[in-house]
Each structure stands twice: as C-alpha cells, then as structure tokens.
Structure 1
Amino acid sequence: MSPITSALRFTPIQTPPAPTQNLIVRQPTSVASAPGTQVILGQDTRVPDSETYTSRGTLDNAQPSYTWEQDGLDKLSMYMFSAVKSSSTAARFQGLGSALVEQLAASGGQRVSQSALQVNETDTTPLNLQQSRLREFASNTVTLSLTTASGATVKLGLYNGERGLAVDAEVQGGELNANELKGLAALADGFQSAINGLTRQPPSLQLGSLVKLDPNLFSGLQMNAKLDLPSGGQQTFDLRLDGSTRSLKLDGPSGQVQLDLDSQGGALLGGKAQRQAALDNYLTQFDEAQKRGKGDAQLTSLLKDAFSQLNSIDDNSPRPAGHNDAVNTYSRALLSGLADFKASIVQPSSRPNARRLDEEDRFAYQVSQSTSTSGQGTTIARQQRQEAKLDAAWHSSLSSAAKLTEADPFDEKNYRYHTLSETASSTTELSFVDNVLKEAKATQEATSTKRVLTYEGGKLESDVSTPESVSRSRNLLNLLDDLFKTDEKARRNGSQYDLDAQLAAHAGLWQLQTDPAKIHD
C-alpha cells in the first residue's frame, strides 16, 4: 500500500473591520465564498495558495495582516479595506479623499479617524503610538484645510506608508452649520479629482470645483501633498486660496512650477472676451518660450493648467462697487482683465561636458503682470506692466540622427552648445482728468540674444551670436475713443455691438510679446 501523505490548510474568510477591538485582518486569495477550514487527506495536487501553512506552522507566502484603529462597517472603512491591499499610492488614495469628506459631512462635523496598521510582531511599541507614527512618518500624504466664513477650520488628512494607511478629519474652532456641511460635501469630488491628478504619472492638475469656493461659506483653502515617485525622488504640492489672492507650487525632480495671483479684490477683472484673449496670449507665450529654450514640455503643461484653472476662479466672482463707472470701464480697456500674477518654471541644471564645465544645460522662465493706480477722485492714472524673462542653454548634435550622451567623451563629439537670453515687457498707461480720458498709450519691447558654439572633434569651429531688439510705442487714445463711441451709438439704436470682442481683436497692440519678430509697427 502506498504511503498516505496529508496536508492541512486553513483558509480564513476575509472581512472588513467588525465590532471587535483591534481586529487583525488576513488577506486570502478567495473571499466569503470559501469555507472557514479545509482538511485534505491524501495527495493534494492543487497549487498551494498564499494561506497554506507549512509543516513548521508558518504561512507560506503570507499576505500582510492589519489591525484597525476603529470598529465599524462605514463607507470610509470599506474603501480603506480594499485600498490597503494595493501597492501604489494612486490606488490606495483612489476614492479615499471623497469618502473622507463625505463621512465628515454626514457625521455633522464630528471627528473621523481610521487606520489600517500592518502587524509587526517584533515591534513592542504601544499600538496607539504605532498608529500615530503611521501618520507622522508617512511617505505619502495629502492634507486639506478649509476656513469657513464663520471662522471654523476643517482639517482632513490622508497618509500612506510602508506599514499601512490612515485618514483623519475634524472641525476646529467652531461648528459647521447645515449650509456649511452641505457645501463641504459638495467639495468631495473636487478634492478627489485633485488627488487623482497629483498621483498620476506624469502628474496633472485637476483642481476643478475644489478651487471655486462659495465665498458665503468658505473664506480660505490650503491643500498640501507629498508623494513618492516610481522613478525615485519626491514631488511636493502646495495650494493656497485666501480672498482675492491664491498661490500654487509644484516641486519635483524634473523642476519647479510656481504661480501667485492677486485680483486686488476684483478691481482688475474684465469681461469674458477680454479675459479669454489675455489668457490665450499668455498661454501662447508659455508654449513659445518652452519651444525656443528647449524646456520641459510637461512642466510647461502644468504651468498652463495652473494658470488657466486659478484664473477661472474669477470668471463669475463678484466685482467691487463702482466697477462699471466711466473711469474703471475706460481704464480696464487696455488692461488684460486678469488678476496680477508672478509665474515661473525652473529646471535643474546640469553640466554634461566634464571638459567644459561652463557649458551648463538650464531652463529658467519668469513672467509677471503688475497693475498700479495713482491720484485720487476723478483725476487718476493707471499703469499695467507685463514682463517676461527667459534664460536657457542646451546641447545638440550636429547630426539629427545622432544623440549626445554623457557616457561618450565630449572631446570626440561633433555638437553645438546653444544659449538663449530673452527679456520682454509691455506697458500700458492711462490718465483721467475729471473723469475724462486724456491719455492712453502702450509700449512693447523685446530683446533676444542667441549664441551658438559649434564643435567638431571637440574643437571649436564657430561662435555665432544673434542679437535682436525691438521697441514700439503707440498712442491709443483715438482707437479707444472710436470703439467706445461706436458702442454708445449701438446701445442707443438697440443694435448689436460687442465692445469686449472689439478690444480683444486689437489687444495685440498692447499685450506682451516675447518674440521680437512679432512686434510690428
């Protein structure tokens, strides 16, 4: 008779947190439908699963076990129960932000706290301290802070690390009323969309409704994220909204994008067509600077997304009293209609040619808009200045088919080293005396210096510099006078005339142009 061998296998049922304090959850390969215990006599020809016990009583290829901070079968815990089994931060945070916001709102603003901590039998640290450290030392975090119009602060946090997943949410300094709770719940999808964008590879900005706060409910917002990248390094994100000002900063291994805006309480904001024309022009300037300076297209895309989405906040925001009086209407005609801002892209520099360390590859781009008013009463002057600066340098091969690599010795290469320096500005000026427009002028300037050094066999063969500089000043008083008179006549006659569209059509005469070739007489 052939010998009988036996194997004893226990397959526990997978369940979410239940009313048992600090429940330990093991993750089998099958769910609920599997029997609680299987005893097999004789030869087992099936492939053992991850919950098969070895002859020494240990699990073969065992999955991690987790202890839960709170009991319960709420929606948030169910999300975490599924998410903690994922290996990527994107998967672990998928749906978790919106679930956290919804649970805080549904609980009336009562504190929410939950964590799934991986069991470590060798760690003798008290459990509550381990759970605290899971948040404190998390390698991936997303936090959101909202200030309500009544002065309370809503704080939310998502934390992901090697030992598990944690979330918490609370209201500090007051309580949320019914309208604030409803407004908070309405932000759930926007918060989750922003998280989804940041955890994508490459990352994207999906701020959407998150940044379009109802000023009757919320007066400020701050969102921060710290995320590990699959390629190595870490990406950080900082977003702040406070009244008429807002800022965004995204920093990672490929470079930094930063944007700060100030609408001066809405005093600068123009009509839809005017604002769209200015927005389109700025986005074009960003693209063209990236192409001319061989910058990172992904960083430029992030700047464009940030610029578009943060400016969209002002599309339907209230304008201050007196916004449509004669002085303001005329003065804004030559303005962009957008909030003042400072924006920049900075990429890490490198020196791939060890024999010529002065040949630095780099890309740094700054662009800004500032608006000032002087005088008082019916006699005032307004000025808006737009500026841009580009400093870039890069290497290229003489042959389009060949690629330069740092592994090859530069003294044997045929290559070009390019440097590009650009500055540009546009200044519009208006003055009023007794509410009558007396002066309207614009000046556009752009300067560019390109230099190309050509090396063959590691020896310098040519060094060519190409400077360009253009400056144009225009008196726009007659143009504005004609446009406004035509608009006034059309309104008297009840005919169709879109003043904003007409101003946008002529905006090329005073908008920022960084390419000297595009500034015409």
Structure 2
Amino acid sequence: MTTLSSLNAATTLALTPLVSRVNPTAEADTDVSSLASLSPSAIVTIPSASGLAVLQTYTPEGTLTATAPVLSWASENSDAVSLRMMGNYAAQTMAGHFAGLGSALLDRFKTTGSDYAQSISISSTTGLAPVGQGAGSPSGQIGLTIRTKSGVTVEIALGSEDGGLSVSIKSSGALSESERNALAKLSDGFQQAIDGLSAVPPKLDLSGLAQFDTSALAAVNFHYTVTGDGDENISASYAQDSSARSLSVTSAAGTMNVKVDTSHSALWGTSAQRAASVASYLQQFDHANSRGHGNAALMSMFEDGFAQMNEDYGTPSGETLPGAAYSPALQQSDQAMLTGLADFSASITDTSTSPNPMRPGEVDSFSYQVAQSTELEGSAREGKISQTQQSHLSASYHQALQGGGKPVLTSSKNSQNYDYVRIDDSAGSAVQMATARGVLLNATLTQSSEQNTRDSKYERGSLVSDVNTPRETSRSVDLLSMLEPLIDNGDATRDTAAWQQALSTIHAMILLNNAAN
C-alpha cells in the first residue's frame, strides 16, 4: 500500500540548508533515502526536494519569501574587479551597483593591457530573481571608448540588468606602457563621472575625463544610460578630442547640450580671463533661470558642464591672432577684447507641463540658448577679428496672485486666480577689430538686448488684464579710444599697471552679461 508522508516531514526536508551548488539533487536524494528507511511506505515530498533548498511560502502581498540568492560567475572570480562586483551586486541603487567599478576596471591597465570580461548573474534557489532584482528592475549601461595616439581603440563597458552586473574591456591592439599609464590615470575621472550621474539628483563631474593625457591619448567618449527607473531615467554622453568637446544630457527634467570648438588655440585667453568669462556666463545663466522660473537642478547640471568643459583646453598649438604676431602689446589688447573662451554653443530645455486643467494650452516651459562665434581673417602682419556672443530665452510659467509661488490649479473657478507670464528675451555682444603692421587700426563694441514680458492676470477664471511690456537697450563703444592714450604715452609698451587695468576694464565690458542684464 502506498501512503503519503506528512507535510511536516516534507517541510523538514525542504529546509535543509544548501551547502553546495555542485549537485543539490544528490544531496536531496540522500535525505530521501534516509527517510525512506524509516517506513516501508513510499514517501512523496510536496514540493519535490530535487533542486530545492527552501520550501517557498508567500507573504500576504503575494510575494515569495526566503528566496536565497544564487550567484553565477562567467569566469574565475578572485581578481580585484570581481571582488568589487561581489560587493556591489546586492545594492538597491545604480550608485551602489557601479560604486568603484569603473576605477577598478581602469586600474587593471597599471599592470596589464589585456582584454577582460566578467559577469555575475543572480537568481534565487527557486529559479526566480530575488525581490527587487527581477526583470522589472532598472537597467544601467555605461561605456567609455578611448582612442590612443597610436590608433589603438579601447572599449570599456559596464552593465546592470535584472540585478546582475557585467563588465568588459576590449582593445583593438597592444598598448604601450605610456598608453596603459594614461588609461589608468583616467580611473578617478571615470568613476567620478559615474558617481555624479548615479547620484540623486544627478550631477555632472567631467573634469577628470576632460583632462586626459593628450600626449598618449587622442580621444575619449563616455556615455551613461539608466532606463526602467521612472523619473530617475537619464541618458548622458560626453566626447572629446583635440578639436572639439560635446556634452548631451536627457532626463525627466529636460535636455541640455554643450559643444565647444577647441580647434583655434589663438582664442584661448589666460586662465584668469577664462575664469572671469565663465563666472560671468554662470551669473547670466542664473539670471535667466530665475527670470524664466527654470528647473534649478537641471540648470545646475548645465552650469557644471559648461564650467568644466571650459576650465582647461590643454596645450595651445602656438597659433596667434591675425595681425598681432610681432607686438606683445597688440596681442594683449586683442586678447582683452575677446572672451578668452573657445567658440561654443549651448542649450537647455526643461520638460514642459500643463498645470491648469481649465486651460491646458497654458504650459510651463523654459528654453535657453547661448553661443559664441569668432571669425579670423588675415596673416601674422595684418588681419581682422570679429567675435559675437548671443543668447535667447523663451519661457512661460504660472504664478499665484498672492505670495508669488506656484498656484494650485484645479477645475474649480475658485482656484483660477493667477498670473500667466510669457517671456521672450534676446541679447548680443559683438567686437570687431582690425590691425596692420603692429598697429590697432580700429576696435568697436556693439551690444543690444530685447526683453518682452507678457502678463495675463486671471481672477476666478476670468481674464482681468493682459499686459505686454517690451524693453530694448543698445550701445556702441569705441574701444580704441580707451586704449590710445596708454599706447601713445608708452604704457602699452612698458606693460604698466595702468595698461593692465585698462585691459581688465575692457574685458569686463565685452562680456555678454553686460548686454543681457
């Protein structure tokens, strides 16, 4: 006669700890044999012991409990990178998954330039992913592609998906010792870029990548993407070579792009000039964001990216401004009338919203663009220089009548008391100069700005006023007339303190911030 053993006995069997993954079925079979010797009756365990280490039960919410994780490695796992992955795999955030992993990968190049791949995948003893680490969890992909001066391409990839981790390094050829060292020096910068974008809210920290060793490396391309994480989704990319830098970020908050043309080192000013110009632009960005009620976190990233990409352009090529090659004083005056920054274009756009259910066409929006372009004509003995800076702000927002904060708008007329403000601003600053045989022939500054503000006021849903307020300013300055007295009395040639003070005054005047505000 065949009988079923009690479920208590089966439960006892199923709770036997799993001490080896080599042959769990054999372990279970041994336990079944010992139990069978206790009774002539056939024993059937429910569930079957084969392949199970823990009897699964369900929580009141319907999720599985006691799902002990099982780790599977792609290869031998005693190296430093694998040990880092072992410490990271159970983290519940992208920051935790990638903590120290990028720097650990690049540190390998201190001793070896060989290809490398490793992965760790996770499942429970039931064959199901542990809670929080299943197919519905966020995924992250990170890539760093480096091209050396000798033409070798190194591709580095990090991935986090379904709770597992994967890393790889592939090289198109053998690396020299100097190339390995240059890659290893990027380890901190690579990790800082990862940590910044993994933070909540995300931040940009690109300085370490931007300052790579140009004697050994020719180009760096970095990308970071997180999907499946709702409002925390983000995609970012940064590329740099000897002639250009570009940054792009897209998140739930909006998008931003910055491009810098570093192909003309004659435009690069001193570090003090660049710092002053960057500080002026950051002040202008803050003003635009405040005026247009933009997203503060996204603007902070935009400012960080702009500042870091213009912090240091590397070693100049020796190119000089046209017409200024044989006169140090002329080189100084020409440079003072330029920003000292490489030409660039930058934009930021917030994700638009429609907060008023009674007027969905009224959107809260913010879009800002800024750019600099320079034209150089002539030779070392004579030439013309023209540099233009431009900005444009387009924004709209709702503002409460009382207190000036965001109104709470519903379908009730009682909530419909607010200002709807639309802004359209533009500004420009242009410098033109001409030189010949070591003499500054002319130099002029032209600046203008236009501001248009339209304010529609509603009370209990009725439009009570609609006012458009335009504002225009413009000016033109003869910069040469400011310098001629100092040139005539020899201050320029002697490079006196008065000459340097005049140059600093002119440099502050030509910045776009003076036109925009």
The TM-score bracket by the shorter chain reads 0.7 to 0.9
**2:470 aligned to 455, 467, 471, which one?**
467
Q: In the TM superposition, what is the alpha-carbon distance from 1:289 to its structure 2 partner?
A: 0.3
Aligned residue in 2 for 1:220: 219
TM (normalized to structure 2)? 0.82
Query: Cα deviation per residue 1:363-401 (whole Å; 9 max; x = unaligned)?
Result: 000000000022345231110000000000000111118
**1:450 aligned to 448, 453, 462, which one?**
453
What is the letter of the counterpart of residue 429 of structure 1?
Q
User: Aligned partners of 2:258 and 2:119: how far apart in 1?
Assistant: 35
Aligned residue in 2 for 1:17: none
Aligned residue in 2 for 1:298: 297
Aligned residue in 1 for 2:398: 395
TM (normalized to structure 1)? 0.81
User: Aligned partners of 1:11 and 1:352: how far apart in 2?
Assistant: 56
Identify if the C-alpha distance between structure 1 residues 505 and 514 changes in structure 2 by more than 3 Å, giving closer, same or farther. Answer: closer
Over aligned residue pairs, what C-alpha RMSD do you find? 3.2
Extract unaligned runs of 5+ from structure 1.
Answer: 15-21, 26-50, 124-133
Q: In the TM superposition, what is the alpha-carbon distance from 1:109 to its structure 2 partner?
A: 1.2
Q: In the TM superposition, what is the alpha-carbon distance from 1:479 to its structure 2 partner?
A: 1.8
Q: Which moved more, 1:473-482 or 1:155-164?
A: 473-482
Q: Does the 8 Å contact 2:122/2:164 carry over to 1?
A: yes
**2:92 aligned to 87, 90, 102, which one?**
87
Q: In the TM superposition, what is the alpha-carbon distance from 1:195 to its structure 2 partner?
A: 0.4
Larger radius of gyration between Structure 1 and Structure 2: 2
Aligned residue in 1 for 2:318: 320
Note if 1:440 corresponds to 2:434: no
Q: In the TM superposition, what is the alpha-carbon distance from 1:210 to its structure 2 partner?
A: 1.7
Aligned residue in 2 for 1:258: 257
Aligned residue in 2 for 1:338: 341
Q: Which moved more, 1:382-391 or 1:330-339?
A: 330-339
What is the letter of the counterpart of residue 204 of structure 1?
K
Identify if the C-alpha distance between structure 1 residues 455 and 60 changes in structure 2 by more than 3 Å, giving closer, same or farther. Answer: closer
What is the letter of the counterpart of residue 202 of structure 2?
P
Matches within 5 A, 1:355-374: 355-374=358-377
Q: In the TM superposition, what is the alpha-carbon distance from 1:215 to its structure 2 partner?
A: 1.3
Aligned residue in 1 for 2:273: 274
Q: In the TM superposition, what is the alpha-carbon distance from 1:406 to its structure 2 partner?
A: 4.5
What is the letter of the counterpart of residue 231 of structure 2?
G
Extract unaligned runs of 5+ from structure 2.
Answer: 1-7, 25-51, 58-63, 128-133
Note if 1:382 corresponds to 2:380: no
Q: Does the 8 Å contact 1:148/1:218 carry over to 2?
A: yes
Q: Does the 8 Å contact 2:243/2:261 carry over to 1?
A: yes
Look up the SS of the partner of 1:264 in the other structure: coil
Note if 1:115 corresponds to 2:119: yes
Q: Does the 8 Å contact 1:355/1:411 carry over to 2?
A: no
Aligned residue in 2 for 1:37: none
Identify if the C-alpha distance between structure 1 residues 12 and 434 changes in structure 2 by more than 3 Å, giving closer, same or farther. Answer: same
| Count of matched residue positions in the alignment of Structure 1 and Structure 2 | 462
Q: Does the 8 Å contact 1:245/1:263 carry over to 2?
A: yes
Aligned residue in 2 for 1:67: 72
User: Aligned partners of 1:395 and 1:71: how far apart in 2?
Assistant: 59
What is the letter of the counterpart of residue 113 of structure 1?
A
Query: Cα deviation per residue 1:316-342 (whole Å; 9 max; x = unaligned)?
Result: 522424467236444222000011100
Q: In the TM superposition, what is the alpha-carbon distance from 1:480 to its structure 2 partner?
A: 2.9
Aligned residue in 2 for 1:350: 353
Aligned residue in 2 for 1:287: 286
Q: In the TM superposition, what is the alpha-carbon distance from 1:108 to its structure 2 partner?
A: 2.2
User: Aligned partners of 1:67 and 1:410: how far apart in 2?
Assistant: 61
Q: Does the 8 Å contact 1:422/1:514 carry over to 2?
A: no
Aligned residue in 2 for 1:152: 152
Matches within 5 A, 1:193-272: 193-228=192-227, 230-232=229-231, 234-272=233-271
Look up the SS of the partner of 1:185 in the other structure: helix
Q: In the TM superposition, what is the alpha-carbon distance from 1:272 to its structure 2 partner?
A: 2.3
Aligned residue in 2 for 1:48: none
- The percent identity for this pair of structures is 31
Look up the SS of the partner of 1:267 in the other structure: helix
Identify if the C-alpha distance between structure 1 residues 63 and 120 changes in structure 2 by more than 3 Å, giving closer, same or farther. Answer: closer
Q: In the TM superposition, what is the alpha-carbon distance from 1:99 to its structure 2 partner?
A: 0.6
Q: Does the 8 Å contact 2:244/2:262 carry over to 1?
A: yes
Q: Does the 8 Å contact 1:425/1:514 carry over to 2?
A: no
